[in-house]
Amino acid sequence: MTKVEVELNGKPLIIETGLMAKQSDGSVVIKYGDTMLLATVVADKKAKEGLNFFPLTIDYQEKTYSAGKIPGGFFKREGKPSEKEILTSRLIDRPIRPLFPKGFYYETQGIVSVLSYGEENLADVLGIIGISAAINISDIPFNGFVGAVRIGLKDGELIVNPDISESNDLDLNIVVAGTEDAIVMVEGGGSEVSEEALFEAIKYAHIEIKKVIALQNDLKSLVGKSKRSITPVIENPELKNDLINYISGDIQEAIRIPDKQRRQATLDSILSESIEHFNTPDYRVKYAVLSEDALIKEIASLFEEYEKEVVRNMIIFENRRADGRMPDEIRKISSFTGILPRAHGSALFIRGETQALTVTTLGTAADEQKIDSLEGETYKTFMLHYNFPPFSVGEVKPLRSPGRREIGHGSLAERALKYVIPSKEAFPYTIRVVSDILESNGSSSMATVCGATLSLMDAGVPITAPVAGIAMGLIKSDEKVVVLTDILGLEDHLGDMDFKVTGTENGITAFQMDAKIVGISFEILKDAIQMAKKGRLYILDKIKEAMPEPKKELSPFAPRIFSIKIKQDKIKDVIGTGGKVIRGIIEQTGVKIDINDAGLINIASSNEESARKAIDIISGIVEEAEVGKIYTGKVKRVVDFGAFVEIIPGIEGLLHISQISEKRIAKVTDEINVGDEVLVKVIEVDGQGKIRLSRKEALRKK
């Protein structure tokens, strides 16, 4: 076994190989504190026929035994991936994918397995490092190393790889991945942090990333295998020249059509005409192509490559985009709120040819989502779900359960908004937002953030500030660089970067940057962050024009939740033996009741009168005797020296014989008997809670 290590934040980061999973092309065990992962990578020995993309799959899986747990549910074994596993798989995939060489079309799979889960809260970061290390010691071609760290910001201090205890109340929490020279990915969120703070955190992260890369380099020098040779992609220069001459003028016109569907239909028509023109026996002989199929694939590949070149050149040299905008120009924005009459809150946010229908539903504590993870059980009171139906891009596809993309976009939008959602104490509702993308031409996740903000305000959720999101792009050719604001789907597909930023007027709440080239320099990243701020503030103004602030009243169809606080020692009285009392209140009033250990009671009902009735009953149960207050009590017992009177359900006080009447009486029963209702005044509650009552003082008051 071979082992290398380096210290990060006072703990050794250890990478080992040579003991586990030796039949994979590359495998490492990575350790940090009590957290231990196995990362393996395998690539097929034969390339996939007819592919023009790299078929890579990254799977991250958490073994429940790693945290000393047995899976919940009926089957008692790990099943389909959890949302966290899917998101982590995407997180590992995104910085790794751009570094595979062009032309490597061998199906490749990387698997990260969590074997031991400690308090480090770093399985995702270690997964990126582990896969990079496993690929680099294998025979699989790879252009460099990828390192990653988590950076936290608390009280103005940057923390490398904060653990679970340090992660509470971080102002900034990001994962940064990069190469020796540049940043490849940024993912995270913050509590309205400044652009400067984000940029400094990324720069600080890169210092630590270099240590991780040096560690991988050491391992590779010790055990690295020789890399496989790649058959370079050989273009047919004669076919390429003939094709460009044939389509050049038409392509130049087509890419300037602003409407997405008309532009794509025109491009498809040009491609069809090109295939029809060149797909003849004479041309196949001329270009030495063996089959009709092979010629069609080569024409399609060259066509896409030329289209990409024309679009990028138009942006770089003409400062013009496919829809006619300037690089920093934002598409037209329209917003509509309250468009669904029975929904608790709704909005339609439109930016260019992208539409997000966002709907907010308010629920009670019974609607909270239970999360059973390696860290333990937690509950979510705010959820955002993103859907991308095929009709949104004019396609026909079967409807399936949410895929990795939908889950990833929903998580990003949820992270963007969670910092402005009111606390459970201030707004005791479970909140679910659903975003249905009705039309898409880029930046649908950012449209979701904007639409969700409007939907939440329409529902009357008192968010602390509106949030907007914008997607930035990049076109880089040699030394020429153009940063794009509010990118189209075409620019996302053909560009070099996708950088999404969300935030309020005060700062950033979420961000996600993916490079499609080997890396992004700090200068470019800084420019993109500042341009994103300008765009975000512009969109926030548009949001506030549509809805300046949250509605003051909830929808008449939303449940009403009323909160009361009781003493902790009274909780058992409200619940009753075996829940008898609380069940009786629910049956009597028809409300939902939730009590927490601190004594906070939330009463939910669509009928305010029923809720008020339940509150009155509970108030009566927990009420305590108040000195000087007059009560109508019921005589429960009579003794020689007085009577015991129930003034509040379950609470009795002593009415001494001397306090029954102004005149002297010989026997208690001369004045009152068991079952009588009498007016009494509380004249004392002693340190042990014993209550003294006076009938004669109550009668004087009367």
Output the pLDDT for position 477. 86
Output the pLDDT for position 702. 59
Least Cα distance to 452 among 533, 359, 377 occurs for: 359
Is the distance from CB of 500 to CB of 512 less than 8 angstroms? yes
CA distance 393 to 260: 10
What total number of domains does the chain contain?
Answer: 5
pTM of the model: 0.86
Residues 423 and 505 in one domain: yes
Residues 311 and 406 in one domain: no
The CATH number for 498's domain is 3.30.230.70
What are the tokens at 286? 């001329």
CA distance 152 to 53: 36
DSSP string, 44-101: -SSPPTT--S--EEEEEEE-GGGGT----SSS-S--SPPHHHHHHHHHHHHHHGGGSP
Whether residue 82 lies inside any domain: the answer is yes
pLDDT by 10-residue block (mean), the chain, 702 residues: 93 96 97 96 87 88 92 83 95 95 91 93 95 97 95 93 85 95 94 94 95 97 93 81 94 92 94 92 83 86 92 92 92 96 97 97 90 84 96 92 94 96 92 97 95 98 97 90 93 90 96 87 91 96 96 91 87 88 90 88 86 88 84 91 87 90 89 92 87 90 62
CA distance 393 to 405: 15
- Boundary residue ending a domain (483, 511, 546): 546
- CB atoms < 10 A from the CB of 389, how many? 13
Whether residue 327 lies inside any domain: the answer is no
B/e letters for 283-301, b = 16+ CB within 10 Å, e = fewer, are bbeebebeeeeebbebbee
Strand pairing report for 108-116 and 35-43 = antiparallel
DSSP state of 520: B
CA distance 3 to 218: 10
Instruction: Name the residue range of residue 215's domain.
Output: 2-223
B/e letters for 242-259, b = 16+ CB within 10 Å, e = fewer, are bbbeebeeebeebbbbee
Residues 102 and 192 in one domain: yes
Output the pLDDT for position 290. 67
Residues 95 and 207 in one domain: yes
Q: What single letter denotes the amino acid at residue 420?
A: V
Please give, one letter per residue, the 3-state secondary structure of 590-602.
Answer: CCEEEECCCCEEE
Output the pLDDT for position 175. 96
Backbone angles phi, psi at 332, to 5 degrees: -60, 140
Residues 609 and 520 in one domain: no
Three-state SS at 442: coil
Place of tokens 């996302």: 492
Is the distance from CB of 695 to CB of 653 less than 8 angstroms? no
What are the tokens at 224? 């690295």
Whether residue 614 lies inside any domain: the answer is yes
The CATH number for 573's domain is 3.30.1370.10
Q: How many helices and strands, by DSSP H and E, does the chain display?
A: 16, 29
- Boundary residue ending a domain (495, 521, 546): 546
Burial (Cβ within 10 Å: 0-12, 13-18, ≥19) of residue 627: exposed
Is the distance from CB of 62 to CB of 159 less than 8 angstroms? no
Residues 411 and 531 in one domain: yes
CA distances from 585 to 184, 254, 446, 603, 611 (A): 58, 69, 45, 11, 10
Q: Which residues contact 381 (CB under 8 A, 6 or more apart)?
A: 368, 424, 429, 430, 431
CA distance 578 to 506: 50
Residues 362 and 487 in one domain: yes
CA distance 80 to 401: 12
Whether residue 328 lies inside any domain: the answer is no
Whether residue 552 lies inside any domain: the answer is no
DSSP string, 176-195: EEE-SSSEEEEEEEEEEE-H
In the β-sheet with 592-595, what is the strand arrangement from edge to edge?
Answer: 560-565, 600-605, 592-595
Which helix or strand (DSSP H or E) is residue 669 part of? none
Is the distance from CB of 531 to CB of 474 less than 8 angstroms? no
